[in-house]
Amino acid sequence: MSVTEETLALPETEPAGPAPLRDLVAELAARRDVAFAGPGEAATRAQHAKGKLTAHERIALLLDEGSFTEVETFRRHRAVGFGLEDRRPYSDGVVTGWGTVHGRPVFVYAHDFRVFGGALGEAHAQKIHKIMDLALAAGAPLVSLNDGAGARIQEGVTALAGYGGIFQRNTRASGVIPQISVMLGPCAGGAAYSPALTDFVFMVRETSQMFITGPDVIRAVTGEEITQNGLGGADVHAETSGVCHFAYDDEETCLAEVRYLLSLLPQNNRELPPEAPTADDPDRTAEALLDLVPTDTTRPYDVRAVIGELVDDGEFLEVHERWATNLVCALARLDGRVVGVVASQPLALAGVLDIEASEKGARFVQMCDAFNIPLVTLLDVPGFLPGVDQEHGGIIRRGAKLLYAYCNATVPRVSVILRKAYGGAYIVMDSRSVGADLAYAWPTNEIAVMGAEGAANVIFRREIAAAADPEAVRAAAIEEYRSTLTHPYHAAERGLVDDVIDPADTRRVLVRALRMLAAKHSDQPARKHGNPPQ
């Protein structure tokens, strides 16, 4: 039989006379066992049957072995009514504390779905508030392991106020300490806003869902039929909404990837990300790049292969891998130092910028800037995606988000133009004119307002229309425009590109540039905060 409060029958008050200290320590151990065991084996089996781990099992996978220190283990709610006064389990449905990941402090709270379905009440919220305050005070990352049924209905407005306290702390910690939300079960209603306020969201397929209004409410209001996973499952948020940054098949893999992400982030905004030794020669040439990227600007290629050739050991962690795939955002290391890579992806929509790519890039650039991660931008962008849907959807203000993020970033910024960089997209993607510290280009670069074909059709439209051989005149006009304004050295001649480099030397050039910029300092104007486009 499992140990529970009922089987142990612990007294509510101290015994009348003094007890020997050994007896008191034994009672303490018994109470701690009760708190750790939770509702008992049946509840644990039910949790496992859903493919989910318990709160303590998840914490054990996240943190270094034996490093977890729990706080407020014996916290119990004080609510009365609706039978709550007869159900006062220890922990109140959330486990809180700290430990280490790769030897560095990390704070964590984990909902225990076995207790009140992980629902948040007053005591539950106060435990979370406490650990969030400690994380901010200590300047260490905060990881939330979410598996809860939302606000505890029996506690009414006090439960809602508890969420307000969490949101307020999420906002205060934003850009100060890394905040990571790991969705391991349901997260509905207002509870979904806490993950949305954090830096990264992880989800597990089939077992985790996020939505503001569930399928039953949607069916009642709109008549639409949809499942929980179809509405707010991991794949939906990873591919369609962009709410989820990473999605995995099981909790073990998910938590291992959280550990990997933490290894790439600083403890707080006053520190640099941790360096890691590498055997990858910083002066290594990348000859493969000469064959990876076609000189024909209309031919696609996978920019992730380019990133793999440049970064240490070919390893990088792609953020939002399945959302807005025309832009790649990744964390990697160069010369052992963490960098953020933003790259056009010619495999998707020819690498154009659109609404979703602009949102994705802006958020990533802001995160890197907040946590002192240098930015490397790889350009092969034909412009912004044209279309009525894009214009009506707000491409102007959405594209301005990416522009604002780059202009506002004070970390070292190096850009490399691989092939084409046209129009406003060239400016937005960290051009020298918006503050890139260094800009390089390959000999395949074409930097212009638009491609030579389109430009010639505009500039020479009358000559072409009046010619006896329009195609010959058009071809001559295209060549004239290309040789005059889009040849590989035009921008370099005007100081808008610092150097035209051999693609095979790109890794060496980036390493040396970032070494030089490592101590970069940028004074900002005195202001409360900016007002970025929304």
- b/e sequence 129-155, b meaning 16+ C-beta within 10 Å: bebbebbbebebbbbbbbbbbbbbebb
Instruction: State the maximum Cα–Cα separation within the chain, in Å, rounded to a whole number.
Output: 114
Strand pairing of 316-319 and 327-334?
Answer: antiparallel
Q: How far apart are CA 73 and CA 33, in angstroms?
A: 10
Residues paired with 342 in a beta bridge: 329, 377
Instruction: Spell out the alpha helix ranges (H) of 139-281.
Output: 157-173, 193-197, 215-222, 228-232, 234-236, 251-263
Torsion (CA) 274, 279, 285, 290 in degrees, nearest 10? -80
The sign of the CA dihedral 173, 411, 246, 98 is negative
Task: Tell me whether strands 104-111 and 142-146 are parallel, antiparallel or unpaired.
Answer: parallel
233 catalytic? Reply is no
Q: CB–CB of 391/355 below 8 Å?
A: no
Count of residues in the chain: 534
Residues 6+ apart with CB under 8 A from 29: none
424 is catalytic: yes
Which is catalytic among the residues 51, 117, 165, 190? 190
Catalytic hit among 165, 175, 189, 454:
189
Please tell me which residue in 425, 439, 491, 513 is annotated as part of the active site.
425
* Range list of H helices, 237-332: 251-263, 289-292, 303-310
Burial of 9 (0-12, 13-18, 19+ CB in 10 A): exposed
Q: How far apart are CA 361 and CA 329, in angstroms?
A: 7
Q: Among 398, 402, 282, which Cα is nearest to 339's? A: 282
**Which residue is it, tokens 């910083």?**
282
- 190 noted as active-site residue: yes
Burial bucket for residue 272 (CB in 10 Å: 0-12, 13-18, 19+): middle
Q: Using CB atoms within 10 A of its CB, is residue 80 exposed (0-12), middle (13-18) or buried (19+)?
A: exposed
The active-site residue out of 214, 394, 424, 435 is 424
Burial of 497 (0-12, 13-18, 19+ CB in 10 A): buried
Contacts (Cβ under 8 Å, ≥6 apart) of 139: 176, 177, 267, 268, 270, 271
Can you tell me which residue has the tokens 């307000």?
164
Q: In Å, how far are 408, 511, 525, 526 from 529, measured between CA atoms?
A: 11, 33, 10, 9
The residue with tokens 């203000």 is 397
Q: Give the DSSP letter of residue 186.
A: E
- Annotation says 232 is catalytic: no
The answer to whether 447 touches 496, Cβ cutoff 8 Å, is yes
Catalytic residues: 189-190, 424-425
